[in-house]
Structure 1
Amino acid sequence: MQHQRRLFLTFLLFTVFHYSRAQAPPQWQEVQPGIWKATAGKPEKISLLGAAGAKPNLTALVTLPKAPFPLAKTDISVRVIDGKTYLRFPLEEGEQLFGLGLNFQTVNQRGRIMELHVDHYGSKDNGRTHAPVPFYVSSKGYGVLVDAARYITVYAGTAVRTDAKHPPVLRDRNTDKKWEAQPYSDAVEMLVPAEGATLYVFAGPTPMNVVQRYNLMNGGGYLPPKWGLGFTQRVPTLYSQDDILKEVQSFEEHNFPLDFIGVEPGWHSMAYPCTFEWEKTRFPDPKGFLKKLADKGISANLWMNPYVSPVGTLYPKIKPFTGSHTVWNGIVPDFTLPQARQLFKEHFMSQHLNIGVGGYKIDEVDGYDNWIWPDVATFPSGTSAEQMRQTYGLMVQQMTGSWFREINKRTYGLVRASNAGASSFPYVIYNDYYSHKDFITALVNSSFIGVLWTPEVRASKTAEEWVRRMQSVCFSPMAMLNAWADGTKPWSFPEVEQAVSDVANLRMQLLPYLYSTFAQYRFEGKPPFRAMNLVEGFGFKSVTVAGTFDATANPYAMSIKKDIKDQYMMGDYLLVAPMFAGEKSREVYLPQGKWYDFYTGKEVGENQVITVTPALDKIPLFVKDGALIPMVPPHRQAPKAGETLPLTVRHYGTASGSFQLYDDDGTTFDFEKGSYSFTQLTVSKTADGKLKGDMAAPANGKPFGYSKEIKWEFMTP
């Protein structure tokens, strides 16, 4: 009996000790201005930020507003039980949550349950997506990041604890019409299937400041080469070098913009799996082919996935550094190992970069489960298959981007998977999903999580749909037509060729504005394409509409959440409201302050919802009062280093305004050594109340590719 008591007391003491240790609050340390870090349990060696490898931009971080720790530390709970980490962060009533991955259908994520899992998007916002970033931004002006390379389950204000500080109101479903199937929850809870994780809390005070801190902690946003912001055509898979040169010629004949060509899988001697070596029949002279493209001002972007074919020369060298399972019969390199990274670098440098390749389209690093490596796979480094799945896209981006940096050449490409820490990578996410409306929602959501997304065009059923999709891509991070499967051209619908040409040319005219906006991303952390929720004066809050009872389809009358998810900002001043096929009109929410029609300069409203009915050849664009929009004449290609273009600056509204016009050589990383210019453009009122434009003198010895004589256009009557 005494022995049993002793065992019971030992068990009790162990339980009490374990519980009290697990309940100890995390110790927060301010590691960058407005960014706090804490350790939960024992974080694993492999992490998301570790895979990304970015260094904070401290110079920019110190310029942001000072802010205290934004949460009550005692309300943050960390427990490690049975090798899993349980996290809880507080929520206030009315608080909205944004982020938690590249979502395609919802913006406010409060009230959702998600498993953040790298995967091809499968038509549901359930956490399985191309960039399942475990970072959320609150409408209260703070953010939370969980740095763990695991499938993290998130209960974003859905679970109600018995010890909740703010429990939901008890209601009787049978008699109370206010009864809800999902009661109010005052916490975000997460389950990390690991013995620990590293946690970060970001202060605001605004949601935009939170996003800036997150991006700047990860090195700041990427500044593409100027050609990367031009137009790109991805050609059919089996095109030869001669076919591609004819394609380039056809763009010249149609006087259509073209800066880079996407070369699809047929350039490999074998693809699915890949050799990364040129197919000699279709590409007998790769170096000469790339030289001919370069002479025409065109960069070449090569498709690839990183799974190595047994018939390639790389195969026997890298085989010892690969995983236990194949993808499409190709071995999977373990990129956590320096040997694998070095072998890839040597192969790619000799085969591609040293002969003039401009970038990559990195395919198939996301999913689906039935073709990517399974979770039972093993890797020689000891990295688990789950960790590899969560970080593979990050590692391939970091690795390939570093090669171009070594030769002082900026690149810009496409990738299928990413995660936390990716802000400074030269890649835009894409996928095979094809909902136009959902593409725009993804573009909105990308701004919360430090990634870029493009709503690419592939095909359309009607000329109307063709125009509307082309308009959207021309107001996105990458203006791309992906013709890999069916060979479509921008002029495939002749009846709307002019409308498509007009919007492509408008993008090219706006390059000074767009390039300066990407410079903001690099130097200030502001995403170039922004959710309206990040805009000062945006007063809309998600509206919850009561669901309709249906005994079969909706027996609990679940409510529906309404978000602003089909409009966004391009930079500080330009509001974009895409149109969709079959719609003749649409509503647009205007934030505080006066707003003006981009095309006419006429005032359209302020802090209100308006209805617009645009012509087919116009994508609705609105400009903030006092905005300056620098533009150049229509031109087929982005300006080259040393080229000087005439500059027109449009001013909208009646308020004074300013704009920081950015420039550099457009191709190298010399801007990081100070070889760039910010030139201030201003509009002010004279003594008699008239508006006058002025440009500060460009800095001596710094790149400035515009004429010093500016044409000023005051658009508002």
Structure 2
Amino acid sequence: MKPTRLIEDPDEYYRASVVSAEVLEVGNNSVILKTRAAMQSKKPVSSADSEMLSRLRLSAVGESVEGRLRIDAVSDDVFRFRYAEGCAVPENNTLMVVGRPAKCRRCRIHAVSDRVRIRTDKAALDVHLSPYRVEASDLRGRKLCGISGPEKDNFACWDAVNTGICRRRSDGRPAAVECFDLRPGEAVYGFGERFTRLNKAGQTVDLDMVDALGVTTPRSYKNIPLFMSTSGYGVFFNHSCLMTFYVGSRSSVDIQGVLDDDFLDYYVFLGDMKTILSLYTDVTGKGSLPPKWTFGYWQSKISYKSADETLEIARKLREHDVPCDVIHLDTHWYREDWYCDLEFAPDRFPDPAGYLSELARMGFKVSLWQLPYIPSGSKLFEDLKAVDGFVKKSDGSIYDCGICFTPGFREKGGVVGVVDYTNPEAVRVHQDAFRRLFRLGAKVIKTDFGEAAPLDGVYHDGTPGHRMHNLYPLLYNRAIFDVTKEETGEGVVWARSAWAGNQRYPLHWGGDNSPNWHNIIPQMEGGLSFGLSGFQFWSQDIGGFCGKVDEPLLVRWMQAAMFLSHSRIHGFGDREIYKFSRKTFLLCREYIRLRYRLLPYIYGSARRCVEQSLPLMRPLALEFQDDPNTWNIGDEWLFGEHILVAPIFSPDGRRRAYLPQGEWTDWWTGRRFAGRTWLDLEAAEDRIPLFLREGAVVPMGPFLPYVDAEPVREIEIRVAPFTKKGKTRLDIHVNGNWIPVVYECSPSGHVLKAAAAGVRFKVKMMGRPAPPARMAAG
């Protein structure tokens, strides 16, 4: 059993939960409390017990446990809680926390006999001292969040455990525990890329970095210790240990977090979900905008093997007028498949620099696969070994993770070392190996894997394995992102694993899906959940990775994938669309071309997403949080702010789709629909249901073979007109310049403003009948 699931068996642990507190110190923006808990064990209880309400179902097994609880008003709507047994709370500086929100403008702390009130210009905390409990509210008195307090079931069966430390009976191993109220009907989101239902209410979520082996289970490559609620709050745990969250799955009225640690450190954010995402990234770091070319189409499979093969594919893509910006070399660009020594196979890539130069001449960037597990027998292994660059065992030997699928490697006694990114010299050696590849002409690295940092490993900087296992993807991707930016001038990776803070190092894809209809929506729901965990950019393998894809499925998958932040086809078997039937080829190419025409909208929206810390692939619940109909929708999304996407995920082409508040315009027909309505749709094989939000501004450029292949001379702007007064602005990138496009509806009419030297703007007002519009100088 995971150490964070110990509360599932009350007979197997002792509990020291905070029952009361007293004020020790009041600062300008903080309060320190002395807490009291008692080490207790579970006592049997019966519903026939006549004294059930008069005593706790606990048996004391020790003296009272003294602790400290510190609450800081970090800003007007962010509060930090730290709890530990003993006489001090840890400072707990972590690699996840790199910033802070705007300082608290005015904080008033008032302590009386039974409570402490902390009031800012936006919120209030009431800290009840006996029994200990915290309630957060807005300035209108509306309760947003309840923390800790006595169990809500008077039988006290330990179905909910409040603030404190539990210890396993067998060995005394600690687990820190916290508890938050869960209201009837409340929706909860976050925890990273989860392939279960988008609303996590009712689920048990383990934050444990694993190779998920698919996209239809609770296992996850990207675990983020952040959750948000439709009640108006979010919580970020500033820990990197294993965690388990019971979101109403043990006690239906509680969210419980159990951490493999001996203290608590968490931030509470107050506000709507958009505000929470912005505040969270104030603390853990803002995202960055990937290079413009990454928003083009990525051509890949497992695996291209030679320069001749990929040069021929590049020529065929251009001959068939398939737009494409990136060709990815997966596991077999090495001399042996999967043998990650960062060296091109000399027989199949005899002139790497010339090869990469020829692809660049045709407008292609090259992506290279690797992983942070280095096989013995290579120069790279020896270079890292020479600087103690691998994670160690307790006896000082190299920790062999065993992850190398090169045929015969394990049978020959090969060892696979895990790069220790806590060692600056290991980072230097590994980055230098990538510098050579970038100087040859490579542009981006696929940072595959990263989930297998050993829990019992010994790390150079002394970080315990139980705190490094989940944190490892942050260090790993940071190292590769940084050297990519240093050498190419542009920061980007193509990453599989992630922890809190990884949004600083985009971008990520959704792992190893399977080519069947059942995988489409769990995969997409994973991306939506990831977006609700502080990440702006996400992609996945078009058509399904683990097997060959059939043509009707490929078409539908391709349609949906063009409306994600990034689009890459990848998997086993043929993945070049010109190798499929003429019908499938034309349908797929049409949608790739549509994506390229939409690039002014996509890139402009991406920049805005970074500024606002919002995902480009956006759950309806994020834009329409006050509409409970959106809370459980994980099979449609907004692409940016303005395009609603309702993908087809069954062979019959039918589905139901929800349109939230406002007026919506069918992209294909111009028909208008009133919002807050469900539609029964049947889409022809060449159509994916798309709807424009009222006030939408969607700039479209010309068809180009790759991003910025030539200067843009004309921009078509599609507008879904407001039905009342309104204004929309989107800045777009044209010919190297950012220009504002502004649409405004007023009693005097519809006006669109945009200007760029040498570019003509053409306006298309959507709808039947479409209102007239006037184009004004920018």
Q: TM-score, normalising length from structure 2?
A: 0.75
Aligned position for 1:173: none
In the alignment, structure 1 residue 358 sits paired with structure 2 residue 443: yes
- CA 1:629–1:13 in structure 2 vs 1: closer, same or farther (change >3 Å)? closer
| TM-aligned CA deviation for residue 619 of structure 1 | 1.0
In the alignment, structure 1 residue 448 sits paired with structure 2 residue 552: no
Q: Residue 457 of structure 1 contacts residue 481 of structure 1 at CA under 8 Å; is this kept in 2? A: yes
Q: Residue 686 of structure 1 contacts residue 692 of structure 1 at CA under 8 Å; is this kept in 2? A: no
Aligned position for 1:672: none
CA distance in 2, matches of 1:461, 1:578: 18
Amino acid at match of 1:426: P
| TM-aligned CA deviation for residue 21 of structure 1 | 2.9
| TM-aligned CA deviation for residue 665 of structure 1 | 7.9
Amino acid at match of 1:580: F
| TM-aligned CA deviation for residue 187 of structure 1 | 1.9
| TM-aligned CA deviation for residue 44 of structure 1 | 11
CA distance in 2, matches of 1:467, 1:137: 35
- CA 1:519–1:72 in structure 2 vs 1: closer, same or farther (change >3 Å)? same
CA distance in 2, matches of 1:29, 1:594: 44
Amino acid at match of 2:266: L
Q: How does 1:245-260 map to 2 (within 5 A)?
A: 245-260=311-326
Name the % identity: 22
In the alignment, structure 1 residue 321 sits paired with structure 2 residue 389: yes
- After alignment, is 534-543 or 409-418 more displaced? 534-543
In the alignment, structure 1 residue 189 sits paired with structure 2 residue 269: no
In the alignment, structure 1 residue 288 sits paired with structure 2 residue 354: yes
CA distance in 1, matches of 2:496, 2:277: 22
**Matched residue of 1:191: which SS?**
strand
Q: Residue 113 of structure 1 contacts residue 126 of structure 1 at CA under 8 Å; is this kept in 2? A: no
1:585-619 deviations in Å (ceiling 9; x for gaps): 21111111111101222102311111121211111
* Residue number among 616, 621, 625 corresponding to 2:690 in the alignment: 621
CA distance in 2, matches of 1:31, 1:537: 25
* Residue number among 566, 575, 578 corresponding to 1:488 in the alignment: 575
| TM-aligned CA deviation for residue 514 of structure 1 | 0.8
* Residue number among 521, 524, 532 corresponding to 1:437 in the alignment: 521
* Residue number among 474, 477, 490 corresponding to 2:565 in the alignment: 477
CA distance in 1, matches of 2:739, 2:358: 34
1:37-75 deviations in Å (ceiling 9; x for gaps): 22232899998x93457545869x9xxx97425871673
In the alignment, structure 1 residue 582 sits paired with structure 2 residue 637: no
CA distance in 1, matches of 2:71, 2:322: 55
1:200-239 deviations in Å (ceiling 9; x for gaps): 11121x2222123223433323311111000010144252
Aligned position for 1:712: 763
CA distance in 2, matches of 1:144, 1:458: 35
Aligned position for 1:515: 603
Amino acid at match of 2:330: E
CA distance in 2, matches of 1:661, 1:13: 56
> Which segments of 5 or more consecutive residues in structure 1 lack a partner in the other structure?
1-11, 161-184, 367-371, 544-562, 667-675, 699-705
Q: Residue 666 of structure 2 contacts residue 691 of structure 2 at CA under 8 Å; is this kept in 1? A: yes
Aligned length: 629
CA distance in 2, matches of 1:634, 1:44: 59
Aligned position for 2:240: 149
Aligned position for 2:26: none
* Residue number among 31, 50, 56 corresponding to 2:94 in the alignment: 50
CA RMSD, Structure 1 to Structure 2 (Å): 3.1
Q: How does 1:471-620 map to 2 (within 5 A)?
A: 471-483=559-571, 485-491=572-578, 492-536=580-624, 539-541=627-629, 563-620=632-689
CA distance in 1, matches of 2:101, 2:290: 18
Aligned position for 1:218: 284
CA distance in 1, matches of 2:441, 2:626: 45
Aligned position for 1:554: none
* Higher RCO by CA contacts (8 Å cutoff, separation 6 or greater): 1
1:689-714 deviations in Å (ceiling 9; x for gaps): x433222x56xxxxxxx744311111
Q: Residue 241 of structure 1 contacts residue 283 of structure 1 at CA under 8 Å; is this kept in 2? A: yes
> Which segments of 5 or more consecutive residues in structure 2 lack a partner in the other structure?
1-35, 40-59, 106-119, 126-133, 137-145, 149-161, 168-173, 392-398, 405-414, 770-778
**Matched residue of 1:189: which SS?**
strand
**Matched residue of 1:390: which SS?**
coil
Amino acid at match of 2:554: W
Q: Residue 57 of structure 1 contacts residue 218 of structure 1 at CA under 8 Å; is this kept in 2? A: no
Aligned position for 2:269: 202
CA distance in 2, matches of 1:386, 1:650: 52
CA distance in 1, matches of 2:573, 2:213: 23
1:537-585 deviations in Å (ceiling 9; x for gaps): 6623489xxxxxxxxxxxxxxxxxxx31100011111100000231322
1:618-676 deviations in Å (ceiling 9; x for gaps): 11111111211111122221116x8334211111134343222133887xxxxxxxxx6
Aligned position for 1:279: 345
| TM-aligned CA deviation for residue 152 of structure 1 | 0.4
Aligned position for 2:555: 467
Aligned position for 1:38: 81
1:421-471 deviations in Å (ceiling 9; x for gaps): 222212212311221121121122121112343232246653221110111
Q: Residue 190 of structure 2 contacts residue 226 of structure 2 at CA under 8 Å; is this kept in 1? A: yes
- CA 1:234–1:530 in structure 2 vs 1: closer, same or farther (change >3 Å)? same
Q: Residue 439 of structure 2 contacts residue 487 of structure 2 at CA under 8 Å; is this kept in 1? A: no
In the alignment, structure 1 residue 418 sits paired with structure 2 residue 498: yes
| TM-aligned CA deviation for residue 523 of structure 1 | 1.2
| TM-aligned CA deviation for residue 91 of structure 1 | 2.4
| TM-aligned CA deviation for residue 525 of structure 1 | 1.0
Q: Residue 701 of structure 2 contacts residue 712 of structure 2 at CA under 8 Å; is this kept in 1? A: no
Q: Residue 495 of structure 2 contacts residue 509 of structure 2 at CA under 8 Å; is this kept in 1? A: yes
Aligned position for 1:646: 714
Aligned position for 2:730: 660
- CA 1:496–1:214 in structure 2 vs 1: closer, same or farther (change >3 Å)? same
| TM-aligned CA deviation for residue 196 of structure 1 | 1.9
CA distance in 1, matches of 2:720, 2:317: 34
* Residue number among 303, 310, 314 corresponding to 2:369 in the alignment: 303
Q: Residue 274 of structure 1 contacts residue 330 of structure 1 at CA under 8 Å; is this kept in 2? A: no
**Matched residue of 1:222: which SS?**
coil
| TM-aligned CA deviation for residue 85 of structure 1 | 1.0
- After alignment, is 190-199 or 121-130 more displaced? 121-130
Q: How does 1:230-241 map to 2 (within 5 A)?
A: 230-241=296-307
1:151-187 deviations in Å (ceiling 9; x for gaps): 1011112334xxxxxxxxxxxxxxxxxxxxxxxx322
- After alignment, is 407-416 or 429-438 more displaced? 407-416
Q: TM-score, normalising length from structure 1?
A: 0.81
* Residue number among 670, 679, 690 corresponding to 2:740 in the alignment: 679
Q: How does 1:64-213 map to 2 (within 5 A)?
A: 67-68=122-123, 72=135, 75-76=147-148, 77-82=162-167, 83-122=174-213, 127-160=218-251, 185-204=252-271, 206-213=272-279
In the alignment, structure 1 residue 261 sits paired with structure 2 residue 341: no
In the alignment, structure 1 residue 336 sits paired with structure 2 residue 422: yes
Q: Residue 143 of structure 1 contacts residue 210 of structure 1 at CA under 8 Å; is this kept in 2? A: yes
CA distance in 1, matches of 2:283, 2:713: 35
